Structure 1
Amino acid sequence: MKKFLRKNAWNQEGTFDNSDLFWYAKAVAEMQSRKLDDPTSWWFFAAIHGENIAGDPNSINWNTIKTPPKVPTNPLPSTNIKDKYWNQCQHQTWYFAPWHRGYLMALEIQIRTIVIELKGPADWALPYWNYLNGEKENKIPPAFTQQFLNDGTTPNPLFVTERYGPDNDGNIYIKLFKDGKPRVTQNCELKTVYTGNQNCFGGPETEFSHYGTLFPQESLETNPHNFVHNDVGGVAQGNEGIMSDPNTAALDPIFYLHHCNIDRMWASWNAKGNNNPSQIEWLGGPKEIGEREFVMPLIDGKEWIYTPNDVTNLDSLDYSYDNLETKTESAITDNTSERLKKLGIPTLDHVQLTEDTMDNNEKPTELVGANQGSFEIKNAITKTTVNFSDKGLKKVSKSFLKASAEEVPDRVYLVLENVKGNINANTLEVSVNNQHVGFISLFGLRNASLGDSHGGGNGLSFSLDITNIIDELHLENDLENVSSLDVAVTPDNEILSDTKITVGRISVYREKQ
């Protein structure tokens, strides 16, 4: 039996009657009392994820954050210490899940040590916020919203001023649906391969990636991770909430409960029989290929250098979850058998049709269409036209004409390329030919747009599966006559007047099955 059991934060209605939350608050207060340059302080741990103490004009400076919390910007640790520990978080990469698992484990050790010193339970473990567990638990636990502890006088260290919510009105909840359409989901759990550029669970293959450029369709990081950050943080009165910016997000105590749920989802995905990467470049982490190593401060001045291989299997670690159940609101798309049936293509019993035929691994993709250039996203709906190349469209059409159970027609993706901006907190809805195809969250956009980012300032790119729309055009006998697609992008929340969000290009790619 594991020594430590992580449990649902909504136990005891998410109040301080939940002892996990009570002791978490006590320990967070102690960590917040320590100086910035103390590796065991709350502020130091936040900076491990990301920081902006230097005051980049394109990002939120820690000294402009409205209290609480009162965030220090000095004394700074030495340059060697900063270079070693700070700004490590892995995003838009196959290292996303393992890096954050190690980060949570290190924070949990710090918290548990303090809890024990305060005469709390020796088996304390970090609780998780399962915001996908219905219309009650999608709300932030009440322990995070009261300004004082139950004594009525002690400030609550879990309370944060700059949380604005998905509607920018201070109501903190995760907007699971919009107009009946699934918005924040666990559909990543339906993926069957870990890495890839289109359909995958864990992200694209990269080197050390402290904010990259590509968001694979409905990966664990894309959805629900990014949406939860922006739904909690939001934007109001000209300010983003601190959860909406990767450089401030870990200052918010709810951050760790959010990531605890993300870690739980990875464990759930593995428990379903799905495999993590076996490549040495993943198992050994970026250090294996000469990049920066993953390292966390521990208690008593010790440190922990770790790799994905050290944290890849929950069975080998000293903690577990009380519940690994995950639910999908809807299928990502028709599975292969259902798709072939819809297209009138006979299947054979001896042919094994699984979701592996949908998920991208090393399948070739080819550009078949694009719009005429960049455009800016406004508060009103923004429309553009994607024109097909004659050669590309013919290849897609041909894949239907020769389709069989052994040769499935192409999958088709809409890609928003080189999305750039000076804000992270917006969410966009995308439609094609007046049909909804998905939502995208811009969490991480500002960092990815900066010239010194790992992506060289190229912004973010988002992939959305539009295969069902192409299938319908084929069934209506219109595909060969189609020369373009009408694409519309609509903000899900207000775009501030001083905000600029641009899309470099919208393109369509075919993926041969």
Structure 2
Amino acid sequence: MSPFRVRKNIAALDQKELDDLVLAFHLLQKVGPGTAEAPNEDSFYTIAGYHGQPFRGAGYGNRDWWGGYCHHGNVLFPTWHRAYVLRLEDALRKVSNKPNLALPYWDEIADSSGFFDNLGRIASDQVGTTTRRVDYSKPKKYETVRCPYSGLVGKDDKDATENYNATISEAQATVQLNRNVQYWLRSPATNSVPGMRQLFIDAAWKAPNYTVFSNTTSAAKWNDDKFAREAEWEDDFVVSVERPHNGVHLAVGGYDMPDKDRHRLTPSQANGDMGENDTAAFDPIFFFHHCFIDMVFWLWQFHHEATENFDIIPFYPGTSPIDSQGPTPGMSADSQLNMETPLTPFRYTTRGVVNIQQLGYSYDCDQYLTKTPPPPPIDVLPLPVPPVTASAPPMSRSAVRVTGISRSQRLGSFVVAIWAFPSDNEHDWAHATLVGLEPVFSRWHVPGCANCSNSLTVTLHAHLPPGPSPTGSDKFKDIHENERKLKIMVLDNQIIKDNVGVPRKRRVLNPITGDSTVDPGPWIEIRKVSG
């Protein structure tokens, strides 16, 4: 039997623990992946490949299907990744011959982002193989990259990526990465939206049941039902653990937290591997991030007396394998996800990973076991002059629902933002307020997956600042421009010709105008309560 292990905050490891961790990753990355016919299951590259590429099953040769094993946007998101992190930890223990080694977590509540400086890349990630049937879509000797670097190495991107990366100072790169992560975790004071840190806290302490805690699809349905209850309207929207999880992926991958301070924008060419689903797990930071996600999952269990048992709401949105993504290999599109669904390729089911003590580990996180959530960090981000908004009746509280934003025609991950403007000037950015934010963690080739496309619209709910706002239920493009008080923006990847006419991928922040070739909507609905 394996010895019991305690997973610690990576920033709290002593020097020996850190050395053992780095050595274990180094040894694991030296192990070859084997062949397609006989993969080495204890290779870092084989394990990293479970999350996305190389594709297998129907997704290997048929782009109508998703070919990765991982689960996102459904109720297996926390449990599949719990089994995944455990598989990586077991491989590290085995290759290093250190049975007591425990994978540490990156504490995103404490915002311990400084550990980037200590670990760097950990070791050169030689992603690739001579076996033709195994396709990692990255060349051999490729090294994973993070914000502000780019990891686009396709035939149309390779030269531009090399030229762009050569302009980046390594010292400044670390500063830029830490700054971008901090902005996502805490959210600048110019925004009226919580940072990912607060969303993790809301998920762990407040989500009422496992189903809505577990994923964005189920949480959106729960919030939709609350939003529609006019007689007894509730506006305390639930947060799933997957939502801030997505934001941190995008932060490390080089996406900006939308803000009026355009001077701190990361370069539009930044495309770190963590920002894209198919390659994210090849960066070791992925596993520190997901070890933290698993800790938040355990905190939710602790605070809801569910450390030994919980249930999944049958047939609820988020229980279908085609919710948010296509079915994983070996799973039919019409099956239902439940407590007994296999967490392929691992030997567990959701019921089998409920109790982490039985899995042989626990977390060193006593500071989060109190009923009262942790307070904000002391060293908050700079406080500018607060934005001016129009006055409103006392005790007014409004909220907006936005839906109809499509993932199927967008390249990779993106960020949806809702801005509110003063009632008398829709173009007054100086007094605009960011009121809604949805980070969407996606893949570069979603349009090719026909069985993924029927459930790929993004829905978000947000509170509005005091003041007049549009009411009713209308398609956004049908609202006359002069009557709009909200502006929906999207930060996404687009192909734009450079100054010599060569198409290049760039990240651009643009308003959503209701173009039916990209988005079926969007539609906006307002609920306003005055007292």
Equivalent residue, structure 2, for 1:211? none
Residues 203 and 315 of structure 1, relative CA distance in 2, 3 Å threshold: farther
Residues 426 and 103 of structure 1, relative CA distance in 2, 3 Å threshold: same
Please give the root-mean-square deviation of Cα atoms over the aligned residues, in Å.
Answer: 4.7
Q: Which moved more, 1:275-284 or 1:100-109?
A: 275-284
SS state of the match for residue 462, structure 1? strand
CA displacement, residues 441-484 of structure 1 (integer Å, 9 cap, x when unaligned): 2321545444424233x644030323x44x6549xxx979x985
What letter is aligned with 2:217?
P
Equivalent residue, structure 1, for 2:72? 91
What letter is aligned with 2:21?
L
> Percent same amino acid among aligned pairs?
19
Structure 1 residue 162 corresponds to structure 2 residue 145? yes
Cα distance in 1 for residues equivalent to 2:295 and 2:122: 27
Equivalent residue, structure 1, for 2:417? 429
SS state of the match for residue 43, structure 1? helix
SS state of the match for residue 101, structure 2? coil
Cα distance in 2 for residues equivalent to 1:38 and 1:24: 17
CA displacement, residues 9-30 of structure 1 (integer Å, 9 cap, x when unaligned): 11248x7762452343234224
Cα distance in 2 for residues equivalent to 1:416 and 1:103: 32
Structure 1 residue 129 corresponds to structure 2 residue 117? no
Cα distance in 2 for residues equivalent to 1:271 and 1:424: 35
Cα distance in 1 for residues equivalent to 2:7 and 2:335: 35
SS state of the match for residue 50, structure 2? helix
Residues 129 and 226 of structure 1, relative CA distance in 2, 3 Å threshold: same
Equivalent residue, structure 1, for 2:93? 112
1:279-294 paired onto structure 2 within 5 Å: 279=313, 290=335, 293-294=341-342
Equivalent residue, structure 1, for 2:354? 312
Equivalent residue, structure 1, for 2:25? 25
Cα distance in 2 for residues equivalent to 1:8 and 1:252: 18
SS state of the match for residue 5, structure 1? strand
Equivalent residue, structure 2, for 1:355? none
CA displacement, residues 189-241 of structure 1 (integer Å, 9 cap, x when unaligned): 323323677xx5544359xxxxxxxxx97421111x11221222227785732
Q: Please state how far the C-alpha of 1:91 moved relative to its aligned partner.
A: 0.6
Asked if the contact 2:342–2:348 (Cα under 8 Å) also holds between the matched residues in 1, the reply is yes
Equivalent residue, structure 2, for 1:488? 487
Residues 277 and 256 of structure 1, relative CA distance in 2, 3 Å threshold: same
What letter is aligned with 2:209?
Y
Structure 1 residue 417 corresponds to structure 2 residue 405? yes
Structure 1 residue 321 corresponds to structure 2 residue 363? yes
CA displacement, residues 281-334 of structure 1 (integer Å, 9 cap, x when unaligned): 79999789846853456xxxxxx432211112334432101115454649xxxx
Q: Please state how far the C-alpha of 1:491 moved relative to its aligned partner.
A: 5.8
Equivalent residue, structure 2, for 1:461? 458
Q: Please state how far the C-alpha of 1:94 moved relative to its aligned partner.
A: 1.7
Q: Please state how far the C-alpha of 1:507 moved relative to its aligned partner.
A: 2.1
Equivalent residue, structure 1, for 2:156? none
Residues 22 and 124 of structure 1, relative CA distance in 2, 3 Å threshold: same
What letter is aligned with 1:443?
F
Q: Please state how far the C-alpha of 1:148 moved relative to its aligned partner.
A: 7.8
Cα distance in 2 for residues equivalent to 1:183 and 1:411: 18
Q: Which moved more, 1:234-243 or 1:426-435?
A: 234-243
TM superposition score normalised by structure 1: 0.60
Cα distance in 2 for residues equivalent to 1:485 and 1:2: 61
SS state of the match for residue 18, structure 1? helix
Residues 494 and 184 of structure 1, relative CA distance in 2, 3 Å threshold: farther
1:19-98 paired onto structure 2 within 5 Å: 19-32=19-32, 34-35=34-35, 37-52=39-54, 87-98=68-79
SS state of the match for residue 116, structure 2? coil
What letter is aligned with 1:415?
T
SS state of the match for residue 485, structure 2? strand
Cα distance in 1 for residues equivalent to 2:375 and 2:484: 29
Asked if the contact 1:431–1:488 (Cα under 8 Å) also holds between the matched residues in 2, the reply is yes
Equivalent residue, structure 2, for 1:187? 199
Asked if the contact 2:3–2:100 (Cα under 8 Å) also holds between the matched residues in 1, the reply is no
Q: Please state how far the C-alpha of 1:432 moved relative to its aligned partner.
A: 2.3
Asked if the contact 1:131–1:138 (Cα under 8 Å) also holds between the matched residues in 2, the reply is no
Cα distance in 2 for residues equivalent to 1:16 and 1:463: 45
Asked if the contact 2:420–2:486 (Cα under 8 Å) also holds between the matched residues in 1, the reply is yes
Cα distance in 1 for residues equivalent to 2:320 and 2:351: 8
Asked if the contact 1:166–1:493 (Cα under 8 Å) also holds between the matched residues in 2, the reply is no
What letter is aligned with 1:222?
R
Residues 243 and 221 of structure 1, relative CA distance in 2, 3 Å threshold: same
What letter is aligned with 1:18?
L
Q: Please state how far the C-alpha of 1:112 moved relative to its aligned partner.
A: 1.4
Cα distance in 2 for residues equivalent to 1:487 and 1:21: 48
Cα distance in 2 for residues equivalent to 1:132 and 1:510: 32
Cα distance in 2 for residues equivalent to 1:344 and 1:490: 29
CA displacement, residues 222-279 of structure 1 (integer Å, 9 cap, x when unaligned): 11x1122122222778573221211111111111111000000111122112654344
TM superposition score normalised by structure 2: 0.58
Cα distance in 1 for residues equivalent to 2:115 and 2:356: 28
Cα distance in 2 for residues equivalent to 1:89 and 1:492: 25
Cα distance in 1 for residues equivalent to 2:315 and 2:218: 9
Equivalent residue, structure 1, for 2:217? 204
Asked if the contact 2:33–2:40 (Cα under 8 Å) also holds between the matched residues in 1, the reply is no
Cα distance in 2 for residues equivalent to 1:325 and 1:105: 23
Residues 479 and 109 of structure 1, relative CA distance in 2, 3 Å threshold: closer
Q: Please state how far the C-alpha of 1:415 moved relative to its aligned partner.
A: 3.2
SS state of the match for residue 521, structure 2? strand
Consecutive unaligned residues of structure 1, counting only runs of 5 or more, are 55-75, 150-157, 207-215, 298-303, 331-341, 346-399, 401-408
What letter is aligned with 2:108?
Y
What letter is aligned with 1:95?
L
What letter is aligned with 1:193?
P
Residues 266 and 295 of structure 1, relative CA distance in 2, 3 Å threshold: closer
